[in-house]
Amino acid sequence: MLKIEDLHVRVDGKEILKGLTLTVPTGEVHAVMGPNGSGKSTLANVLAGRPGYEITAGCVTFQGRDLLALAPQERAREGVFLGFQYPVEIPGVNNVYLLKAAVNAARKHRGLEEVDAFEFLTLVKEKMRLMRMEDSMLSRGVNEGFSGGEKKRNEILQMLVLEPRLAILDETDSGLDIDALKIVAHGVNTLRSPERSLVLVTHYQRLLDHIVPDHVHVLVKGRIARSGDKSLALELERRGYDWVTGEAA
């Protein structure tokens, strides 16, 4: 599904990713963990195509295609989804309109007709119940006046409606209380399937209690310093990042 090879990325002239290599096969859930400043969010943003990141070396293929050659909207239409760490508020742009525009953009890309408005609304409301969101949120501006937890739930709602092939969730657990974390994790779990891959970018192990990953990678100073199964996350939790950063240094 996703293959990252020797990726070097600079931000404002400073190298943040320094030869990152990572393969995520179809149907697997991978967690990328790491201390602050290790390059986790940079990785997520580069995959989604955010401007401001200079790729100096390496390549990323998504389903055999050169992902870095695609514009952000093309990546989205091909089935790449980024769950933002800090979802922006867009007052005046209606939530349901954005969802519909996003779904239709992807459908058009695949040569499909626009979604039926009634069926679409029914589907969205069903997903909203799953995310324990009030229907009234639909008619509000995108993330407008939402609490931190509501914003994250809205990200997952969008993901559930868009049904991406590859979802990258950037610190989706940050700022969530335990109840919200469970709701978010439940939403993510419903999307796990043999055709879909997930990359969970997180600082803490606790999200992984609820979304159990197939593989865990530790990102230190712009490189994968260590990979393992879910037990690696538990060990990290116990011993702290110093354990890996010490080794990597």
Kindly list the residues in this chain that would bind another protein in the complex (CB under 8 A).
48-51, 71-73, 75-77, 81-82, 84, 87-88, 90-94, 97-98, 101-102, 105-106, 109, 141-142, 158, 162
- Minimum CB distance to another protein, residue 84 (Å): 7
- Which residue's CB is nearer to another protein, number 196 or number 223? 196
- Which residue's CB is nearer to another protein, number 74 or number 235? 74
- Which residue's CB is nearer to another protein, number 115 or number 248? 115
- Which residue's CB is nearer to another protein, number 57 or number 101? 101
Residue 186 CA to residue 111 CA, distance in Å, equals 32
- Minimum CB distance to another protein, residue 72 (Å): 4
Residue 44: both structure tokens together: 């997520």
- Minimum CB distance to another protein, residue 120 (Å): 12
Q: How many C-beta atoms surround the C-beta of residue 190 within 10 A?
A: 12
- Which residue's CB is nearer to another protein, number 57 or number 117? 117
Alpha-carbon 173 to chain mean position: 11
Residue 88 CA to residue 177 CA, distance in Å, equals 20
- Minimum CB distance to another protein, residue 177 (Å): 24
Cβ atoms of 167 and 157 within 8 Å: the answer is: no
Q: How many helices (H) and strands (E) does the chain have?
A: 9, 12
Residue 179 CA to residue 6 CA, distance in Å, equals 38
- Minimum CB distance to another protein, residue 103 (Å): 8
Q: How many C-beta atoms surround the C-beta of residue 21 within 10 A?
A: 13
